[in-house]
Amino acid sequence: MRRAILVVGQAGYGHETEYEYVVAGGGTAGCVLAARLSENPGVRVLLVEAGSGELPEGARTPQVWPTLLGSSSDWGDFVIDEITKRSIPFPRGKGLGGSTDINVMVFIRGHRSGYDAWADAGAEGWGFDDLLPFFKRSETAPDRDSAVRGTAGPVTVRTVATHNPVAAALLDATREVGLPQAADPSSGFEEGFGWHDVTIRDGRRITAADAYLTPAVRARRNLTVVTDALVGRVLVEDGRCTGIEYGAGGRGNTARCTRETVLTAGTVGSAQLLLLSGIGPESHLRSVGVRPVLNLPGVGENLSDHTLSGVGYEAARPVPAGVSNHAELSGIITAPIPGYADQERPNIQFMIASNGRIIPPGKRPENSYSIGFALMTPKSRGTVRLADPEPDSPPVIEPGYFSDPHDLDGMLTALRIAQKIGAARVLEPWRLREVGPGPEMTTERELRSYIVDSYSSYWHYAGTARIGTDVMSVVDPQLRVHGITGLRVADASVMPFVPAANPMPAVYAIAERAASLITAPAREGT
C-alpha cells in the first residue's frame, strides 16, 4: 500500500555524499525535522529510515490497528517481565511515519502539570508554557479553543464524528459516580473524562509522513529520503559529529554533514545508535566490544513507560462495531495512592474501549467492552543496552516494570475506580457480567495478581537520552548531546520521563521545537 506519490531518493548508494543536515530515523520526529529543515532551499537535507516507505495492508483503516502489531511496520520487540517472566510485546514503528503508522491514533496532550514536572526535574525551559507554541504549530484542531490549540498545523485532529453508544453510556457512568468531566483533554488545563481527539481524517489513519513528509517531498528538490537503510553509527572526529554510516542497497554508505546530525530513531533506536557509536557508559561499551568515544553514563538509562491493564465486561447486547479506533473516550484524574509521594498532579488515565481488547485473551468474550487504566506517573525505570556491536542485532530492553512497588499500588487504585465506573446503574442495559478480573477476585492480593498477570506496555516509551545538565543527562536544554558538537537528539528519548498523557503530541512538539532550535538559535536563547 503506497503513500501518495512519496518519491524516495536513493542518490549516493555506495558513495560518500554531503548534506547540511542529516536526520537519522524517519519516524514521527524525523518526518517533522526533515520537513522543517528543508523549508530553507539553500540547504540539503538527508533523511535515513530503516523501514519501508510503504504502509502494510489495512494500515489506513482505523478499526484494524491490532493487525499491524508484528507486521513489517513494527520492529517486533519483546521484553521479559522480571516479576512473572512473561514475554510482553514492545511495539514500535518501523517505516516512514514510525509509530504513527501502527498506533491507536489517540491524540491527548494531557494536563500541563505533567510537562511542568519536566522543568522541575532539570529540563529547564521545557515546561508546558514553553512547549505550547510548538504544540500549536504542529496541529490543526478545528473544534477546539484556538487560545491553546493549533489552527494551521500539519496534523489535523478532532473527535470521531459518531460516538459508539457503549462509550457514550460509559461517559454517563463516570458522571454518575462523581468523576470530573473535561471538554478538551488536550487543553492542558482540565482533568476529567471527555471525548479526545484522534489522528483520523475522513475515516482513515493520518501518519506523520502524511502530514509532514509527503508534502515536503512533493515540493522540494533539496530533501533526499532513503528507506530500507539501517544507520550503523554516527561519525565523530575531534569531538564533532561529521555524519553517519548506513547500509542500503547492499552497500555501506557515508553521509557527511556540514552543520548538524539529528537522531530521531525513538526512545529505543536513538539510545541504541548512540551506544553503537561509542557514546554511552564506558563499562557497558567495552563489555560488548564497542570502542568508547565518549563516556556518557546516562545513555540507555532511565527508560520510562506506562503499563496498561483493564476491567472488562461481557455485554448484554451487541456492541456496535463502530467506525473509528474503538478508543474515543478517556479520562485523567488525580487519585490518592497509598504511600505514593506524588499526589499533586493527575496520575491515572482511563481509556474506554468499545471492544474487549484490553481484557486478557483467556477471559475475553466476543461481545465485550472494557475500561483500561494506566498509572501516568510511574517511578519504575528500565534500560536499553546492546547485545553486541552489530547494528542489526536487536537491543536488550529491560523495562523494569513495577521495580518500584508504589507503581503497583497506583494500578490497584486505578482498578478499583474502573470497577466503580463499570458497576454504575446507567450501564445496566449494557452490562451482563464482569469478566476481568471477575467477581471471584475480591482480595487485594488477588487483584494485585490480576494486574501483574494481565498488564501490557502502553507503548509510551521515553527517557533514554534525557534533557538536563547533571551527570546522568544526555542532552542539554537545546537538545545537543553533551560533549559532542554538531549532534542533537529530538524524539521521546529526551523526555525526562513519560508525560502524564499519550506522548504522540509531545513528540510532534519536541521535533517542532528542535527545528526552531536548529534554524533560529538566537530566538531560542542559545
Query: Could you tell me how far CA 487 lies from the centroid of its own chain?
Result: 22
Indicate the length of the chain as a whole number. 526
Domain boundary residue, one of 411, 436, 454: 454
User: Is residue 75 a part of any domain in this protein?
Assistant: yes
Residue 210 belongs to domain spanning:
1-156+204-221+247-304+381-401+461-520
User: Is residue 291 a part of any domain in this protein?
Assistant: yes
- Residue 390 makes CB contacts below 8 A (sequence gap 6+) with none
Read off the CATH number of the domain in which 473 is found.
3.50.50.60
In this prediction, residue 523 carries a pLDDT of: 46
3-state DSSP call for residue 113? helix
- Cell numbers 522543517: residue: 36
Read off the CATH number of the domain in which 318 is found.
3.30.410.40
- Could you tell me if 370 and 294 lie in one domain? no
User: Is residue 391 a part of any domain in this protein?
Assistant: yes
Query: Could you tell me how far CA 305 lies from the centroid of its own chain?
Result: 9
Number of domains in the chain: 2
User: Is residue 240 a part of any domain in this protein?
Assistant: no
C-alpha cell at 148: 491553546
**What is the Cα–Cα distance from 33 to 47, expressed in whole angstroms?**
9
Give, to the nearest 10 degrees, the angle between helix 128-138 and helix 113-120: 130
User: Is residue 324 a part of any domain in this protein?
Assistant: yes
Contact (Cβ atoms closer than 8 angstroms) between residue 362 and residue 238: no
- Could you tell me if 372 and 386 lie in one domain? no
- Residue 501 makes CB contacts below 8 A (sequence gap 6+) with 108, 109, 110, 111, 114, 332, 349, 376
Query: Could you tell me how far CA 509 lies from the centroid of its own chain?
Result: 12
Strands (E) in 238-347, as ranges, are 240-248, 251-263, 279-280, 294-295, 307-315, 329-333
- Could you tell me if 130 and 268 lie in one domain? yes
- Could you tell me if 270 and 300 lie in one domain? yes
**What is the Cα–Cα distance from 158 to 23, expressed in whole angstroms?**
30
- From first to last of its 526 residues, the chain has per-residue pLDDT tens of 334 334 444 444 445 699 999 999 999 999 999 999 999 999 999 999 999 999 988 899 998 888 999 999 999 999 998 877 889 999 999 999 999 999 999 999 999 999 999 999 999 999 999 999 999 999 999 999 999 999 999 999 999 989 999 999 999 999 999 999 999 999 999 999 999 999 999 999 999 999 999 999 999 999 999 999 999 999 999 999 999 999 987 778 999 999 999 999 999 999 999 999 999 999 999 999 999 999 999 999 999 999 999 999 999 999 998 778 889 999 999 999 987 766 678 999 999 988 877 777 777 888 999 999 999 999 999 999 999 999 999 999 999 999 999 999 999 999 999 999 999 999 999 999 999 999 999 999 999 999 999 999 999 999 999 999 999 999 999 999 999 999 999 999 999 999 999 999 999 999 999 999 999 853 444 4
Phi-psi region at 257: left, alpha or beta (left = phi > 0; alpha = psi -120 to 50): beta
β-strands 197-198, 106-107: how paired? antiparallel
The amino acid at residue 471 is V
Domain boundary residue, one of 454, 469, 487: 454
3-state DSSP call for residue 273? helix
- Could you tell me if 148 and 56 lie in one domain? yes
- Could you tell me if 97 and 48 lie in one domain? yes
User: Is residue 283 a part of any domain in this protein?
Assistant: yes
In this prediction, residue 95 carries a pLDDT of: 97
- Could you tell me if 76 and 132 lie in one domain? yes
Query: Is the whole model's pTM more than 0.85, yes or no?
Result: yes
What are the catalytic residues? 460
- Could you tell me if 177 and 91 lie in one domain? no
- Could you tell me if 7 and 63 lie in one domain? yes
**What is the Cα–Cα distance from 263 to 392, expressed in whole angstroms?**
17
- Could you tell me if 76 and 104 lie in one domain? yes
| DSSP run (H or E) holding 118 | helix 113-120
**What is the Cα–Cα distance from 386 to 393, expressed in whole angstroms?**
8
| DSSP run (H or E) holding 269 | helix 266-276
**What is the Cα–Cα distance from 484 to 488, expressed in whole angstroms?**
9
User: Is residue 235 a part of any domain in this protein?
Assistant: no
| DSSP run (H or E) holding 304 | none
DSSP code of residue 226: E
3-state DSSP call for residue 208? helix
User: Is residue 230 a part of any domain in this protein?
Assistant: no
**What is the Cα–Cα distance from 90 to 422, expressed in whole angstroms?**
28
- Cell numbers 477471559: residue: 363
- Could you tell me if 313 and 291 lie in one domain? no
β-strands 87-90, 77-80: how paired? antiparallel
- Could you tell me if 169 and 294 lie in one domain? no
